[in-house]
Structures are given as C-alpha cells and as structure tokens.
Structure 1
Amino acid sequence: MILTVDDAKGMDKEDSLYKFREEFYIKPNTIYLDGNSLGLLSRRAERSLLEALNDWKEHGIDGWTKGKHPWFYLSETLGKLMAPLVGADASEVIVTGSTTVNLHQLAATFYKPEGKKSKILADELNFPSDIYALKSQLSIHGFDPNTHLITVNSRDGRFLDEEDIIKAMTDEIALIILPAVLYRSGQILDMKRLTKEANQRGILIGFDGCHSVGAIPHSFSEWGVDFAYWCNYKHLNGGPGSVGGLYVNKKHFGTAPGLAGWFGSKKEKQFDMEHTLTPAESAGAYQIGTPHVLSIAPLIGALEIFQEAGIERIREKSLKINRFLMDLVKQEFPDMGFIIGNPLDDHRRGGHISLEHKEAARICKALKENGIIPDYRSPNIIRLAPVSLYTSYREVWEAVQVLRKIMIEKQYENFKNEREVVA
C-alpha cells in the first residue's frame, strides 16, 4: 500500500487532539519537528506568564500570597498538576530547579557510600550533563570518578540492554542513575523491571525523565522508583529555561536534603527564620532556593492543556504519527542511505524518531533552509519529533516530501557536514 497525502488528511480528520493545534503559535510556512528539544509556545502558557507579570505589577511583595497565581505555593500547585504525568502522588512531585541542579540535589541526598558499596552506576549513552554531575558528586566524596563511576556499555551504540544493566548491579553499587528515554535513539528503558532488580539488591535507583515526561505515561510510585528528575521545556512546552521537576517516593520522606535551602522548609516554619531547618514533609523538602516565578509561570497554562488532552491520548497519537513517519521513510528512501536508529516496537520507543545518515548535519541545515525544523545529534543523527498536541499528519507527509527533494537534488551539498554552535 502506497501512502499518500490523502491518507494524511484522513488521519487528521480522525485525530481527537487536532483541535489543540489552535492553542499553539505555529510559524507559517514552517513545519516544527523539534519539540523534543524545545516545545512551542501555547497561548495558554503566554497567558499565564502575563498573569504572573501582572501579579507582580499589581501586588508587589504581596504577590507571594495574593493575585491570580500566588507564588509561595506555586511549586507545590504545579507539582500536583504534574503528578499524573509521572504516576505519582501529588506530595511526591515538586516543580523546582533545573535538570542538573535537581540531579545534584538528589545525588547529594541519596548517594551514601559505605564500605565497598561506594560506586555509582550509569550508562555510556546518557546525556553528558548527568555524567558531569555524577563525576562531581564522586569527587566531592573523595572518590576517583574513573574508578567509581561505572558505565554500562551499549552493544550497538544505539540501545542499552537491560540484562547488561542488571549484571552491573553488583554489591559495590550504591546508586543508579539512568535515562527513562535515551536522548539519541529514543529507546524506553524498562523502568519497572530495573527498579525491581535494583530494590531487590538494596540499591537506590533514579531516572532522568527529560525525554519521557509529557511524551509517555509513567507509574513511578507503583514501580517503586526512588526518585526522578526532568526538564519541562521539551514535551511539556514550558519555555526556554523553564523550571524543572523532581519526584521523590514518599517512602523517603524525612530523608534530609543533601543540599539544604530555605524553600525546602515546612511552609509554616519557613519565615520563623530559625537556623535549624525543619524540612517539608513532602517532595517540597528538596527545593533549595526561591522559585523562579517568571520561568515557572508558563507551565501553569501548559499543564492545563495536558490535563484536558490526557497523557494516554497523547501517547496513542504519538505512536501512530511516528509509525506513519517511519512508514513514509521506508517508502520514500529505500536506497538513499537512511537508517531508522530508534526502536521499532511501540513499547520501546519514546516520542521521537532517530534517522541516521552520514550526511546528517548537512541534511539538517538543508531541511531548515526549506522550512522544516529538525534536530541534529552527533555524529550522524537527525531527530524528528512529531508532537501530538500540535503536529499534523499532513505536516509529516509534507516534511518527508521536502526531505526527498533535498536528497534527490543533493541540496545538502551546499552546506558543511558539521554542527552549528547550538545543535
């Protein structure tokens, strides 16, 4: 069966999420396929940011307790809205910090080396910032990162095998940090299985949800995950520099934060100004400093959309539209050097497609020149992320036709095969 533009139009008509496209600012004559790096601005996110500015304008210091969105409890309020996206109780989620700051906080809190149980387990495909943070934490404890950071190797450079991760869970491991979804290939790790195996060995385990939260459903509490952290500017459309999120399983409530700060205080005690911290009895205890209100405000509107759309429907469309994209790639590029480098099975694939090609950097530049916004990852990956809330099937079909034209006409030869400063 040959896929045509009429097939794309038909799927758009049947798409129950199609109406949400109207919520977003979509640039004319542009097809945006980079929502796994930075989500588009929605009108509701813009509105809630303007409301926060107005609260500042109207109330000044009283904005902490007055106005449309009082700031003092804003992190907790948004944590409650975000909890269903990660399968957690409202008390287990807080919107705070950034990905790396939150990882530092969680590692400082839960990495407790004792005797030979002193090593941290990660993987060689993890995002560099996570590795930097873990090496830093090891150094702070007086350990050599070259010997105490154990990284699980990939068998093929694309994916991780859970068997290899489990095999590395020795009695020397004190903490495990893994990606929920691998940022290059889009592979989903079996978080439920890995958590069970870690917990059986008395090892705490945490997940980086930057490429999973807002794209796939999670059940962190049910699985017994110890902690997790993520950014909110990708699939959650919170805007550049958006405040991040973290999850701490309630079984750990009462564990003193490794990095203490006054916003981790129990709310009723915070302004007592005592020199002894009384931590919040929730994930709020792992906040450090004053929330960045103007960077958190767009999430108010962004999460409203997720409440209405529902993560299950978002995932259902994501799988369907990405399958459509992969089928088109197979149809249109049988002999042009493209390799689909993401998992083909739905249950193993996150929210983006990973196309490998030796001319990937040049192809990405040619796509941008033609109004298609992709994402490049070294050394040879074109990431394409049709986003359920604002990408249409028609756009996917058109993007593939543009790519075909680029390849046939060899337009990519007009560019250097190297990444830009920001890729």
Structure 2
Amino acid sequence: MDTSLDAARRMDAADPLSDLRERFHLPADDLYMDGNSLGLLSADAEAALERAVDQWRDLAIRGWTDADPDWFSYGERLGARLAPLVGARREEVVVANSTTVNIHTLVGTFYDRDRGSKVVVDALDFPTDHYAIRAQLRSRGVDPDEALRVVDSRDGRTVATEDVLAAIDDDVGMVFLPSVLYRSGQLFDVETITEAAHDAGALAGFDLAHSVGVVPHALSDSDVDFAVWCHYKYLNAGPGAVAGLYVNDRHFGATPALAGWWGNDKQTQFDMAMTYDPAPHAGAFQIGTVPVLAAAPLDGALDVLADAGGVEAAREKSLALTDYLIDLVDERLPECSVGTPRTHEERGGHVAVEHPEADRVSAALRDAGVVVDYRPPNVVRVCPAPLYTRFVDVWEVVFRLQEILDERRYEAYPASSGVT
C-alpha cells in the first residue's frame, strides 16, 4: 500500500463516507483515536437528546404515550432499529439495562447444570464478563474455579479458534466469549464456535461490545443463543448509554433470572398482577424502566450509521483505515509491533500498537494531541473510527508517534500505575 500523505489525501477524496465527519463534534486540537472506548457526539445524537428533554418538559407523564416516538415502547423500537446491525429478527433485540447487567440476566437465565456444568471463557476477556459469570455461578452454589474452563492464549495477544473448539465437550453447558478481544482487536469466528457449542449440546453467547457498529454480524443465521453489547463505542450513543441484548427466538418464554416489571408483556403490564407475565420476545429481559434520556442519543446516532449505508459500509472503511495504519506502523515504527491480526476475517475495528514503554508512549501521545488509550502490559490502542476519521488523520498520528519515539520524548513521563 502507498503510505504517503498524498495517498491519504487521495483516499479521503474518494471516501463515500467523508461528509459524515461534519455531523460530529470533533475535539478542536486533538486527533481522536479512542472511538473504541467512547465514540464522539454527533449533531444527530444531540438533537435526539434535546427532543427527549423537550418532550419531558412539554408532555411530562404524557410522554409515555404521546411523545413521538412514545417512551413506553422505546426499548423495543430501538431494538428493531438495531436488529439489522447484528443480523437478528426485530423481536430478538431490545435496548435495556447495562452490558454487565445483561450478562448477569442472560447467563443467569440460561446456565443449566443439567445441560453441562462447565462454562467456556477465555483468558483475555474483558474482566466484567468474568465477574458477572462468576457471580451467577456462585449464586447457584457452583464453585467458579471448578466450573469455568478458561481457554489460554498462546502468545498473550490472541486466542486460537482451535483451542476454543478443543475446550468444548459434553461437560460444557455454555460458551461465552467476546466477539473481539479488547486488547488486541482479534475478531472471533462466531459461527464456527456456535456450531461447535451446539454440537456438544451447549449454548453459545457473545459479548459484542467491541464489534457492534463496526463489524456486521449474523446472529440469527448463525443460531447464536444470546448476546450483549454497549452503544457508547462505535455507535456513538454517549457515556453510559443504555445497552442492548439479543435472545434467539427459540428461547422466548424463558423467565429471566433478573425479572422486572418493565419486562412484563406490554398488554398486561398495567394489570399490576403480582405474578410476572414475561413479554413474548427479547423485551422480557428488560429489568427497570427504560432510561429515556440515556436511550435517546442512540436514536439519533443510528441515523448517522443509516446514512452511511449501514454497518457494512462502516466495516469497509474501517478495514481500509486499519490496513493503512498497520502498513504505516510496519514502515515507519521499527520499535513497535502490531498485535492485531492482519487478516480481515480476524480483525475488529482497532489496532494494538505494541511497545515496551506503551504506558509512557500513550501519555506522550496525549500531550502531542493524539487521544489514544493504554492497555497493560504493552499496548497503545489506536482506533480510527470510520464515521469521522480521515486517512490523513491516521498518517498524522503515526507521524507524531514517530517523532515521540525518535526523540525518546516518552522518557520524560513516569510509568503509570494502571489503565488509562
């Protein structure tokens, strides 16, 4: 690939998504490369939030029925909008709760020792996944150290699919993995893992937090049992935005482990019966009342992605941006290595740039106007989010990183004591 600045300018000129950048509030003096942690605010998300605030002011309690869109069905309506992004039927998706709460309720609902006592996870998971699974196992009197079958990494970066498959046997009742590893950006083969789980009589669940909005999924066609995700990364719905979940329609009717009034069938919800009547779709897994002000920005943010041409268009540009970034690192940063798989089939939306002093390098980059994050022990995560990042931005990031390394500016910074 031509890694020159002129090549970057040509790619930007030919980019069909280039106009979307104007719809985002971009940091004035920074190159923002942290969209895999928190996406930027769009004018569309801002307007949707302001509309919800106006409805609250003008309609008060009538907003539940008279707002446009009405608040009462907010979670189900947004779920229907999200369904194409994850390859699901509209009734299989709902916006509800937080990601960790959704792991609790779905694992708690579907874990069944009679199916198999073991739960397959991996050693490089985001910690909250393990926290929630362990808590659910303990609540059933199961020792997590005995029940969790942890698939190790061979290189500290990635987890081999063949190792995951080898861990699935007749003792396994559930497989729960991320779609993308949060450090390295490795993308798992969801379909193959799901098929192996089902062949063993187990259920397959996934945490899509680091892929939803930048990687197309086919959850229904792949027969995945359940999935969870957040909306504040590539979908740009704001800090603490309400999360999403998917439940395969063959599981409709299951009573959620964390049942709540908002998951009651809408037709009988105001009967106020003391016996729970779960909604006949994924909406049953809503627990508390939909937080309208935390959900509204997602409504506007989805408009941007729709105008981009959907997640497939975002994926195409994301791969082009990360291809360019990887080639630049290879060519210009001999002190660094790329910890992210290079094949498109195994790569999510960010690139792990590895350096022995990654914590100090990350701090120096931030002071040089490049917003990235550090993940121990040696990863600078760089995310050129496709809806608002240009190819010239990627070139400039690598140029500034090269200066920091060549001049050893990072040596002026103390080692950090934790994740930033």
So what's the TM-score if we normalise by structure 2? 0.98
**Structure 1 residue 70 displacement after superposition:** 1.6
Contact 2:232 2:238 in 1 (8 A): yes
**Structure 1 residue 200 displacement after superposition:** 1.2
Contact 1:12 1:393 in 2 (8 A): yes
- Identify the residue that residue 73 of structure 2 maps to in structure 1: 73
Matched, 1:262 2:261: yes
Matched, 1:379 2:374: no
- Identify the residue that residue 110 of structure 2 maps to in structure 1: 110
**Structure 1 residue 129 displacement after superposition:** 0.4
CA distance in 2, matches of 1:64, 1:415: 52
Contact 1:360 1:417 in 2 (8 A): no
Structure 1 residues 408-419: aligned runs within 5 Å: 408-419=406-417
Q: Kindly provide the CA deviation profile for residues 116-151 of structure 1, in whole angstroms up to 9, marking residues without a partner as x.
A: x21211111111000011111111010111111111
Contact 2:99 2:230 in 1 (8 A): yes
CA distance in 2, matches of 1:68, 1:43: 19
- Identify the residue that residue 50 of structure 2 maps to in structure 1: 50
Q: Kindly provide the CA deviation profile for residues 365-411 of structure 1, in whole angstroms up to 9, marking residues without a partner as x.
A: 00000110011101110000001100000111111111111111111
Structure 1 residues 165-314: aligned runs within 5 Å: 165-309=164-308, 310-314=310-314
Q: Secondary structure at the match of 1:40?
A: coil
So what's the TM-score if we normalise by structure 1? 0.97
Count of aligned pairs between the two proteins:
419
- Identify the residue that residue 348 of structure 1 maps to in structure 2: 346
Contact 1:51 1:68 in 2 (8 A): no
Structure 1 residues 321-340: aligned runs within 5 Å: 321-334=321-334, 336=335, 338-340=336-338
Q: Secondary structure at the match of 2:395?
A: helix
Residue among 340, 358, 368 paired with 2:366? 368
CA distance in 2, matches of 1:62, 1:408: 62
Contact 2:174 2:197 in 1 (8 A): no
CA distance in 1, matches of 2:26, 2:106: 37
**Structure 1 residue 240 displacement after superposition:** 0.3
Contact 1:361 1:419 in 2 (8 A): no
CA distance in 2, matches of 1:72, 1:300: 15
CA distance in 1, matches of 2:246, 2:220: 9
RMSD (CA atoms): 1.1
CA distance in 1, matches of 2:361, 2:375: 12
Q: Kindly provide the CA deviation profile for residues 20-53 of structure 1, in whole angstroms up to 9, marking residues without a partner as x.
A: 0001000122100000000000000000001111
Structure 1 residues 92-107: aligned runs within 5 Å: 92-107=92-107
Regions of 4+ moved over 3 Å: none
**Structure 1 residue 2 displacement after superposition:** 5.6
**Structure 1 residue 419 displacement after superposition:** 4.7
**Structure 1 residue 230 displacement after superposition:** 0.4
Q: Kindly provide the CA deviation profile for residues 199-248 of structure 1, in whole angstroms up to 9, marking residues without a partner as x.
A: 11110010000001001000000000000000110011010000000000
Name stretches of at least 5 consecutive residues in structure 2 with no aligned partner.
none
CA distance in 1, matches of 2:95, 2:300: 14
CA distance in 2, matches of 1:100, 1:300: 22
- Identify the residue that residue 15 of structure 1 maps to in structure 2: 15
